[in-house]
Structure 1
Amino acid sequence: MKKIYIIHENSEWTVHLTRRLEELGLPYEEWFLDEGTVDLSAAPPEGVFYNRMSASSHTRGHRYAPELTGVVLSWLEEHGRKVFNGSRAIQLEVNKVYQYAALAKHGVRTPKTIAAVGKEQIVKAAEQFLGKPFITKHNRAGKGLGVRLFYSLEGLKEYVYGPEFEDSVDGITLIQEYIQAPEPYITRCEFIGGKFLYAVRVDTSEGFELCPADACQIGNLFCPAGEETEQKPKFQIIEGFRDPIIEKYEAVLAANNIQIAGIEFIRDQAGEIFTYDINTNTNYNSDAEAAAGTYAMLELARYLGKHLEQEEKTASPVL
């Protein structure tokens, strides 16, 4: 029997999808790729495959999970299997430089960014931002890892040459202009099947390490996804969101064969949109969805189920 295969390395981010698959009575199997082998001479099972490997896998002790996933996806694609978020998706997931290049190709504006390897080069790159605040971030990150805001070169030097400095797992640090928003929030646009589903307003007043999942542990810091203050929730789905940027985002996803993603942007004081992240391992906030009556994991389960049904109707070729 053909199944839906879910490729990942963090069950906390997958359980919401598997529950929906069970609700719909859809057969599935999880491929937990923290380690393993791939027999390239063997044929993969038949079915549909959904890749939700994360760039932050190394923070959970799964340093080479994305590399292993890249091998598996290549193997699946070589055998003509139906893969959602395939090889190109994993390339973009673990490399923000690749993301910015893909966005720029479709006329999507990103913040001025310099990639640097080595502490001296990080400081040298930051000299181009003198007089303006800037941030550092990891090229391969996820969950906002490595994001720090600086207002001076001296502040950066204290960090880079101090005990708190943490290098990106791929050795590439990004130095990026800081986009000052009139209000402390960013917008995250969710896509399923390459089409826009909804946009979420995310409160950034408590910092940069943002994760919409219901459980999100970052070192000793807890990301209170779903927790509400007396004033407003941290995550809030925007009713009736419309903007020309959506068409460009859909073109980016189509060109890179990405079906499921969350794309984040921020508006500056003049209202100009700057896009800074493509998440191909996207998570959803249950409180925000309950308030809006929209459930992305249910839509995703239905989407995967539809394609599984199509695969069932397709007879296997005679070899």
Structure 2
Amino acid sequence: MKKIYVLHENNEWTVHLQHRLEELQLPFEMWHLDEGVLDLSGEPPQGVFYNRISASSHTRDHRFAPEFTEAVLAWLECHGRTVVNGSRALRLELSKANQYMALNHAGIATPKTLAAVGKKQIMEAAERLNMTPFITKHNRAGKGQGVFLFESIEALRVYVEGPNFDAPVDGITLVQQYIQANEPHIIRHEFINGKFLYGVKVDTSEGFELCPADACSIEDMFCPTDADTAKPKAKFEILSDYRPEFIDKYEAFLAANNVQVAGIEAIQDAQGNSYAYDVNTNTNYNFDAEAIAGTFAMLELAKYLGVTLADI
């Protein structure tokens, strides 16, 4: 029997999708790819294979889940199976440098960024960037891992040479232009089947950890700094009547890179220029924000997977 196969490494991030697949009475099977054995001479089962492997898997002690998943995807694609978010999507998920090059190729602006390997080279990159303030981030990361704001080169030197330096798992540190927004928020643009679903405004006043999943935001769903308001401000807010002109470029970018499900995060500077800075092909959704808006991305995703299964 044909099934929907969900390739993942984090049970907390798949439970909502499981519930929606069950609600729609769709046949499915979960493949947890933290470890396993793959017979490359064998043949995959028939079905739709949805890849949800995250760049932050190493933070959950699943260090080699992406590498194993890459082997599984190669196996599936070799046999012509229907894969949602296949090997190209995985490459983008695991490398922001790869993302930026693909975004730029599609005519989408990104912050000026230098990639560096080595502590001395991180300092050199900051000097060549010649912008203050600036940020650093890990090339392979998630939930804002390794993101720090620096007001000066000397502040970076103290961090890089000190005991709290956070080494990236792939060795690549990005030194990046800091985009100063008029208000402390970014917009995350969600896509299913390569088509725009909605934009969600994410309050960044408390820092850079922007994962919208319920498991990531239980402790900080509301911003406590809004003391003057009678009602607490939601950290995640789905925008109504929102479809900026650059959405067409985002959709074309996803189509060109064979990505069907993604969240693209962008920030707008004081002059109104928008910069995309993260492509998340393991996108999650915030239930509280969706309940207010009356739209549910996991349900739409499950429907999409069901239609895709019916078409093979």
TM-score by length of 2: 0.96
Q: What is the letter of the counterpart of residue 231 of structure 1?
A: P
Aligned 8 A contact 2:137 2:147 in 1? yes
1: CA distance, partners of 2:53 / 2:131 = 39
Q: 1:231 deviation in Å?
A: 3.4
2: CA distance, partners of 1:224 / 1:252 = 34
Aligned 8 A contact 1:55 1:94 in 2? yes
* Residue of structure 2 equivalent to 1:239: 240
Superposed CA offset, 1:259-279 (max 9, x none): 000000000000100110000
Q: 1:308 deviation in Å?
A: 1.0
Q: What is the letter of the counterpart of residue 57 of structure 1?
A: S
Aligned residues: 306
Misfit runs of 4+, over 2 Å: 128-131, 222-231
1:282 aligns with 2:283: yes
Superposed CA offset, 1:56-91 (max 9, x none): 000000001001001100100100100000000000
Aligned 8 A contact 2:131 2:177 in 1? no
Aligned 8 A contact 1:8 1:30 in 2? yes
Superposed CA offset, 1:208-261 (max 9, x none): 111100012xxxxx7745446543100000001011110000011001100000
Q: What is the letter of the counterpart of residue 274 of structure 1?
A: Y
Shift in alpha-carbon separation, 1:48–1:39, aligned structure 2, 3 A: same
- SS state at 2:251 partner: helix
Aligned 8 A contact 2:198 2:239 in 1? yes
Q: What is the letter of the counterpart of residue 282 of structure 2?
A: N
* Residue of structure 2 equivalent to 1:112: 112
- Name structure 1 gaps, 5 residues minimum: 217-221, 312-319
* Residue of structure 2 equivalent to 1:49: 49
* Residue of structure 2 equivalent to 1:270: 271
- SS state at 1:303 partner: helix
* Residue of structure 2 equivalent to 1:314: none
* Residue of structure 1 equivalent to 2:85: 85
Aligned 8 A contact 1:51 1:83 in 2? yes
2: CA distance, partners of 1:194 / 1:232 = 31
Please tell me the root mean square deviation across aligned C-alpha atoms, in Å.
1.1
* Residue of structure 2 equivalent to 1:292: 293
- SS state at 2:252 partner: helix
2: CA distance, partners of 1:269 / 1:278 = 22
1: CA distance, partners of 2:260 / 2:109 = 21
Shift in alpha-carbon separation, 1:5–1:213, aligned structure 2, 3 A: same
Shift in alpha-carbon separation, 1:106–1:121, aligned structure 2, 3 A: same
Q: What is the letter of the counterpart of residue 278 of structure 1?
A: V
1: CA distance, partners of 2:44 / 2:142 = 29
Superposed CA offset, 1:191-218 (max 9, x none): 00000000000000000111100012xx
Superposed CA offset, 1:132-167 (max 9, x none): 210000000011100000010110011001111011
Aligned 8 A contact 2:70 2:90 in 1? yes
Q: What is the letter of the counterpart of residue 284 of structure 1?
A: Y
- SS state at 1:75 partner: helix
Aligned 8 A contact 1:215 1:225 in 2? no
Aligned 8 A contact 1:209 1:223 in 2? no
Q: 1:36 deviation in Å?
A: 1.1
1: CA distance, partners of 2:143 / 2:101 = 21
Q: What is the letter of the counterpart of residue 43 of structure 2?
A: A
* Residue of structure 1 equivalent to 2:199: 199
Q: What is the letter of the counterpart of residue 160 of structure 1?
A: V
2: CA distance, partners of 1:131 / 1:147 = 16
Aligned 8 A contact 2:103 2:253 in 1? yes
Aligned 1:201-220 pairs, distance under 5 A: 201-216=201-216
Shift in alpha-carbon separation, 1:205–1:234, aligned structure 2, 3 A: same
Q: What is the letter of the counterpart of residue 263 of structure 2?
A: G
2: CA distance, partners of 1:223 / 1:184 = 20
Q: 1:130 deviation in Å?
A: 3.7
2: CA distance, partners of 1:5 / 1:147 = 33
1: CA distance, partners of 2:250 / 2:199 = 12
